[in-house]
Structure 1
Amino acid sequence: MNLSVSSLFFELAVIFLPGFLWMKIHTKYGAKKQRSQFDLILNAFLFGVVSYIILMLIYRLIGLPLNILALDQDGKKLLDSAILPEILWATLIALFCGIVFVYAENRKFLTRVFQKIGLTKRFGDEDVWDFVFNSNSVGVEWVYFRDFSERVVYCGYVRLFSESGQLRELLLQNVIVYDFDGNELYRRPMLYLAREQANIHIEFPDAERTSNDQGE
């Protein structure tokens, strides 16, 4: 292959586009902790390989050859016209698999299996904040956010919450604000709250009712 370094880098980047796309989806919407540069590159490579393996299995199932496997042949171009459709299909596979992978990761399917068989008691890489507000339980939707410094309680539905970090953020809807004596102070259709993670006290009044309903 007579390729310059710049063109070789570009063509390799195109070939590994499925892996980078899958890695980007996973990093943005699935991974909860900071990853090193090496981990990101390794994930992109592995996700790309998996995408092409799935494509190879599909091609074999329908009786078509996978031309990208013949790149080691003399005179074979990296971005040959026969290879470009395969890269496109692999990219679509990576997009689909990335979405499914993130969905399964956020729903803790594999972790729940490990918990069922007694392999672990952990719920994942994220902290309890992410675990609670990412859960499907309706009992965590209505919260009492108790502010001890201002001596007020914000009651409302959680509509948005921040990712893990030093500053925790909540967007509450249909908010009622009380003082510590239980007197209603005011109401707001929407309220944004931001606090340091060490200064947060949140109660879930619907959790007990939800648990009782599920037990019946």
Structure 2
Amino acid sequence: MDIAAIRLSLLMLPGIIGLKVYKKLVGRYPHREWEELTEILIFSVFSYSFLNLIISSLGSYVPFVKTRESYDFNNLLNEIFTKNELNFNLVIVIYASGISAILAYIFAFISQKNIINLIGQKLKVTRRDGDIDLWDKFHNTYNEWVYIRDHKLNLTYFGHIDRFSDLGSKKQLILTQVSVYNIDSEYLYDADVVYLCRDDDDLSIEINAYERESILGSNCEEVENNGQNQWEDR
């Protein structure tokens, strides 16, 4: 590997770290290779641009950097192909990587809250709710007790969704404080934790008053509250 390739890899490291953090927060979605490379480049450009702004504003307050030099991404990229030596300020890469991780949280917040689409809806230029899969949107929107219909085993689980999987071939859920019922809504047993792994068509999730009554009876709210208190006392 030549010197330029090594320097280029170091230069793009903040973008790689930023993208890793971002995917960890929002989940993994199918991407083409060129899209991931574009996202790495975006994180790199933004992180070095913010770093350059910080250095030019704070000056000598930023340790281990030369304030007279420009650390803009374009300048650093130009140096890679004009200098044949492996002289590269690793402190700059570390600073930029930290900024990139912070930017990942900001971008994740914008993505998860659908801020771009909400602005578009306010301006009446779109009716789309965003690119987030409805599986993710449901779990990020509703954080309450639900009914899981297991069509494969003809069972119903009443409990709280503690964890859910990213997009993939299987839908995976971890339920806590679970009550299990058969297809006739007859109570079977309780479980502290239930793990489910099913195909898309094998699960449905419900949150509505009618289904509460069909399983818990007319005093569903009281039963629900008592059930939760009992779990907390265990």
TM-score, normalization: structure 2? 0.74
Query: What SS is found at the alignment partner of 1:188?
Result: strand
1:131-187 Cα shifts (integer Å, max 9, x gaps): 10022x44xx21111234433211110001111223111111110011233321111
Which residue matches 2:108?
A: 102
Say which is worse superposed, 97-106 or 151-160, in terms of deviation: 97-106
Return the TM-score normalized by structure 1.
Answer: 0.80
Give the residue type in structure 2 aligned to 1:176.
Answer: S
What percentage of residue pairs aligned between the two structures are identical?
Answer: 28
Secondary structure of 1:134's match?
helix
Does 1:147 pair with 2:150?
Answer: yes
Gaps of 5+ in 2: 60-66, 213-234
Aligned residue among 15, 18, 21 for 1:25: 21
Distance 2:94 2:13 in 1: 9
Unaligned runs of 5+ in 1: 210-216
Task: Select 1:39's aligned residue among 19, 35, 41.
Answer: 35
Structural RMSD (CA): 2.7
Give the alignment of 1:42-191 within 5 angstroms.
42-63=38-59, 64-68=67-71, 69=75, 72=79, 77=85, 79-80=87-88, 83-135=89-141, 137-138=142-143, 141-191=144-194
In structure 2, the partner of 1:214 is none
- Deviation of the 1:196 alpha carbon: 0.8
Quick check: 2:158–2:178 contact (8 Å CA) kept in 1? yes
Q: Which has the higher helix share?
A: 2
**Which residue does 2:218 correspond to in 1?**
none
Figure out how many residues of one structure are paired with residues of the other and give that number: 200
